[in-house]
Structure 1
């Protein structure tokens, strides 16, 4: 419910509104009374009439003078805060009069949006379940979302301008007031095979659509040339910038990231921005210019703060996004209050990202990947509220429609931070999914987020969530609805992943049992039995779920252009949402095992073959008393010090992160090599051991593995004993043994910390540990 400051005094009518609330108000025969509207308000009223007609088949008439009809929707104006509106419902005899009074043209648009997402609309019928009597205005002045018409995107590169207009409408209905367009020249290919028109043509077309609705058109403009110390490079950049910005009908703001993408030091970036600001305002007087410190290292951040301390008048403010080594609270403390800070949150990714899913089961990471369909109502609400007091609005980073629910959640929270996610989801499902199914679907969306909580094998809610969605898929109102199809695809993939995890774990357990019997049988027979166990096929139900995924992926491409496969639908890469291509990824060590068998079987000596097989069976515990961590697998890293709770550190600056490498078990890696623990920037990866035998000597065995990008790591014990100096990873993976001095364990305790070189920028990643054994010596 809106807090009291958002409500006006309830307008009393001749008939009690209590009685009114008992019976929904029938607006099926309403007319829209809108005298003297012009400009963006015309588009807003067209949106109202058109969106009602799409859902009901009823075409409301628009008139200038109120006729004698059972219901009227009156569009008028009020005085109040920018973008705010009042909604009032009155009864005049048997007539219903619903008035939308906007404080400005955007207030009219957002008031209409409020009505649209509140109406109950079914074919041939329009009703208002409760009278609307309220006055409201937004908490945050900027509530925007990024659109990148580019090859990397998982959806938008297949869209036409009518589809972008529908997206603009859908965002405006929930209160979005800005769209940020990525410049046609960025860190991407210049074109996409799916483009229906050129990047420049479409980008300018979207800008004209935003003008039509009176919304802000912003431009994300990374400085991508190689060397801005070269005057010729600067001249070329300024010419390209001018040629682009002069073509826009209107630009409200330009956003230039320091990095991600880009690579220009602040001392070179600021003079360039000053000159670009003059060009920008020549064509768009009053346009804003924002800059970020993304990608900067420690030295560059100090230069950034030093330049901001001079308070350049051409700069509007700073935005905070991914790959920022200084957290937002630190930046707010260092940046002059003259400059507001906007948030640029990544709402589309689940790992290798600004806000990873905490403690995510590796099976989800391997199959569904970095950019899946990812409604996260609990997490996104937590993230928004955690940072809201430091920011003056947001523009979300997004790569398509996989994060559609998250966009709406952020938009509503930007209007009123107290909005419960449940309320937003009810509005979302009522407006986009409609009918009596809305409340059921509003409850099922949080269930998708809960599917990702805890170990996948133990999550009993996954099957129930899929059952809930499948029970609705034959409803006529949901047929060919891409939003429903996307949610059903996620629910199906979760259930498919759970089935695969269980089956592959059982196969591997059978294989290891066969190997464990090697002392009582020939090693070749043991390997043959293990190979047969690993080769068992999936059952029929798992196969049916797989078929459903392929069917839904085809529907989603046809209905919204979502590219869930590279070969089938033209996605730019598997990591860009094309998780259908991961559907057959192994979830156990079958490939690694069979390759090991191929090597072992060549050994001439039976005793040696048995010894090698015994090493496989006792991998985690090579000798009694071994302490093992499969880092990156949340259920098997007992000695990892996690750090702060997610609610206190949603960006995980001060917490351990579970990740996976850009590999799969089908590449011949063990799963334990693919998963890893990492931390950001200077925070160490920390393993803590207690209750050790102070009389024993210990060896640390460690597997350094992860992504190909790796930094040298230094390992110390108990805060001062160096186990090894800064060490580049010798191979990927690399398993190494290190002696632990007995003085480090003489009190029965041991703390191990891995650190990377200090002061670096970029993503903060690059030091990763996949496995660790503390092995007692005889």
Structure 2
């Protein structure tokens, strides 16, 4: 970490150029420029830092310094919004912004790179680079923030090149209060809006339409009154974002007039504010109405933003949206599953324990997502639920300046600025690799843990380091438990082959070894520190998180990773049978388990290592949102609820894309039957099954969860040696596109 203190903001009548060190700026500097200078307040630099707009810099220099500046100035590109130049002239560092924001971002560059920062001129590739902040109960950390903590968050984001935040309105799809609030939501919105005014950055308002029916005059009037009361009190609003859904449920023909009225109200108080809409949640028919209304090109609308739960992909929307409207990306950088960008082929052991909203540095994946969509977007506002995705925020901020920026260089900046060690970047990339492939087979997980253990003594009380260490610890904990629990289950089944249920029970009841218990203890210790240091709520009971799936994965620390509960119940049932022959028959079925007989085939869908017949589709490389690809997921249930691991995990696809299994080299002379287990989340969508295009089971509801279905496959469909099975849901639906889920499939000779 840089040593010492460097803050000398000169507010004199004339700049004092005689200081050997300090920050020099013009005497009439704007509040935004002065706020930028204060970012240097805890850093040390040998020599003066001269900070000003490009057109004012010469007035702060003299002699040779001034001559050299004027010479270099001639070689700079024409001024552009937010651009900056950083260069050394003698022992002075020159930070020249093309405008006030450029000053801020130039200071950020110096802070990221440190004393040896190379000379640079930089201008942003994307005009919109913002991150969502939700001061609400659902959030995994921000509901515990004070205004001072939000100011530090804004400063950190600005250092990495973000130019705004998007604030979720006090009324959203959430509880009105959080027990952790440090101020009333209305007051905090006003406070953060004021901060953004101070720093000269954008304050965007995310305002979902939560009324039940806006065709009712009273509902519409109440909404407009609530909206006006909010925006008239906010010191600064630069943009209004209104989603069509997720949350909200207002059809386009009703939504557009309401937003037009809100835009008129907004412009009374904030005349330059822009207005954005999304088509999230719309079904096929509503999408067509959305496009038709856009084709009329209403003047109150600035553009469209594209986010989760959009049935039309981003390129398709860009093609249908009139060219006059900009398109902003609203990517989910917070979640790993049941989400816009699920982690491909994620081990169910990780999904079950670390969950949907873990600490998730994903430099490789997030960089790919930015670059994949860059040509179709004018910028982004990331969807976030707290600090768990802090690394991803900084990556997006920098890639918004230049999508070709080296990802490792951004991570080195992250380590240098936040941790004081650029080598921290190696740990962040290792954390992402921890999730590659099955946990049990990934030896690199132990090396990642050792990396953070070596660094830990040098970084006490640093919440960003603690988050990474927590993740590394959790990954290693899951890996060791997965290995141990699979071994216990294997020992139990081995005992059952001899009929020894007592030995099987004993194997399943074995406890964790000391090294696993030590990791568990450390998780609890780090969770407490993270709550104390940054308000991260890793437990519902201990720290007031809103729900387990909202980042509280400490509450899943003891989740079973094998079928212990189910298997024990099976043994209880078998032991209760009076007839020895019946007990023997049931034991044989239990021991044979999922293994198909000779000539049969089995897929444990949702377990990437055990679904050989699943047609995966193009995959993450060319289909990051998995619109055309199979997705591995897990249900909300756990093995401790009596579910098997094979039921907890499932395969699914989105919207009209089928779940597809393909079999080759079948015996033409064999007749086959199918055994299918439908299991997953609590969806109630009808599902249709076809075999080689022939309907085997028409649209039918899942009547239980899980539900087993068996049916014969006509031999006429397999006599050529191939079989393609496809599961689909009804056409044209909106929402998330999820809900047709299949857990297990056997193709068995009959």
Q: Which residue of 2 aligns with 1:111?
A: 106
- Given the two structures, how large is their TM-score scaled by the length of structure 1? 0.90
- Aligned residues of 2:647 and 2:743 also touching (Cα < 8 A): yes
- Aligned residues of 1:615 and 1:622 also touching (Cα < 8 A): no
Summarize the alignment of residues 556-571 of structure 1 with structure 2, pairs less than 5 Å apart.
556-571=530-545
Measure the CA separation in 2 of the matches of 1:484 and 1:743.
Answer: 61
Measure the CA separation in 1 of the matches of 2:584 and 2:196.
Answer: 70
Q: 2:116 aligns with which of 125, 129, 144?
A: 129
Q: Which residue of 2 aligns with 1:41?
A: 33
- Aligned residues of 2:540 and 2:546 also touching (Cα < 8 A): yes
Measure the CA separation in 2 of the matches of 1:489 and 1:498.
Answer: 14
3-state SS of 2:695 partner: strand
Q: Does 1:648 align with 2:598?
A: no
Q: Which residue of 1 aligns with 2:218?
A: 232
Summarize the alignment of residues 480-495 of structure 1 with structure 2, pairs less than 5 Å apart.
480-495=461-476
Measure the CA separation in 2 of the matches of 1:67 and 1:655.
Answer: 59
Q: Which residue of 2 aligns with 1:142?
A: 128
Encode CA deviations 1:39-98: one digit per residue, 9 max, x unaligned: 21111112222x317xx9999999999799xx99x999996100001111122xxxx011
Per the TM alignment, residue 439 of structure 1 is displaced from its structure 2 partner at its CA by 3.3
Encode CA deviations 1:283-336: one digit per residue, 9 max, x unaligned: 110211100000000000000000001111110000000000000011011111
Q: Which residue of 2 aligns with 1:14?
A: none
- Aligned residues of 2:245 and 2:282 also touching (Cα < 8 A): yes
- Aligned residues of 2:50 and 2:93 also touching (Cα < 8 A): no
In the superposition, relative to structure 1, how do residues 345 and 409 fare at CA in structure 2: closer, same or farther (>3 Å)? same
Measure the CA separation in 2 of the matches of 1:739 and 1:556.
Answer: 55
Per the TM alignment, residue 440 of structure 1 is displaced from its structure 2 partner at its CA by 2.4
Q: Which residue of 2 aligns with 1:733?
A: 706
Per the TM alignment, residue 621 of structure 1 is displaced from its structure 2 partner at its CA by 2.1
Per the TM alignment, residue 766 of structure 1 is displaced from its structure 2 partner at its CA by 0.5
Q: 1:513 aligns with which of 494, 505, 509?
A: 494
- Aligned residues of 1:290 and 1:316 also touching (Cα < 8 A): yes
Summarize the alignment of residues 417-566 of structure 1 with structure 2, pairs less than 5 Å apart.
417-434=403-420, 438-475=421-458, 478-518=459-499, 526-566=500-540
Measure the CA separation in 2 of the matches of 1:353 and 1:758.
Answer: 21
Q: 1:761 aligns with which of 718, 734, 744?
A: 734
3-state SS of 1:380 partner: helix
Q: 1:350 aligns with which of 336, 356, 363?
A: 336
Measure the CA separation in 1 of the matches of 2:173 and 2:209.
Answer: 10
Summarize the alignment of residues 299-698 of structure 1 with structure 2, pairs less than 5 Å apart.
299-434=285-420, 438-475=421-458, 478-518=459-499, 526-698=500-672
How many residues were matched structurally? Answer: 718
- Aligned residues of 2:387 and 2:536 also touching (Cα < 8 A): yes
Encode CA deviations 1:580-637: one digit per residue, 9 max, x unaligned: 0000000000000111111221111111112112112212125332210000000000
- Aligned residues of 1:52 and 1:59 also touching (Cα < 8 A): no
- Aligned residues of 2:24 and 2:48 also touching (Cα < 8 A): no
Per the TM alignment, residue 442 of structure 1 is displaced from its structure 2 partner at its CA by 1.0
Q: Does 1:32 align with 2:5?
A: no
Per the TM alignment, residue 210 of structure 1 is displaced from its structure 2 partner at its CA by 0.6
Per the TM alignment, residue 494 of structure 1 is displaced from its structure 2 partner at its CA by 0.4
3-state SS of 2:456 partner: coil
Encode CA deviations 1:665-704: one digit per residue, 9 max, x unaligned: 0000000000000000000000001111111111100000
- Aligned residues of 1:29 and 1:60 also touching (Cα < 8 A): no
- Aligned residues of 2:434 and 2:444 also touching (Cα < 8 A): yes
- Aligned residues of 1:717 and 1:723 also touching (Cα < 8 A): yes
- Aligned residues of 2:49 and 2:95 also touching (Cα < 8 A): no
3-state SS of 1:388 partner: helix
- Aligned residues of 2:308 and 2:340 also touching (Cα < 8 A): yes
Q: Which residue of 1 aligns with 2:88?
A: 89
Measure the CA separation in 2 of the matches of 1:206 and 1:598.
Answer: 59
- Given the two structures, how large is their TM-score scaled by the length of structure 2? 0.93
Where in structure 1 are there 5+ consecutive unaligned residues? 1-27, 120-127, 519-525
3-state SS of 1:586 partner: coil
- Aligned residues of 2:413 and 2:422 also touching (Cα < 8 A): no
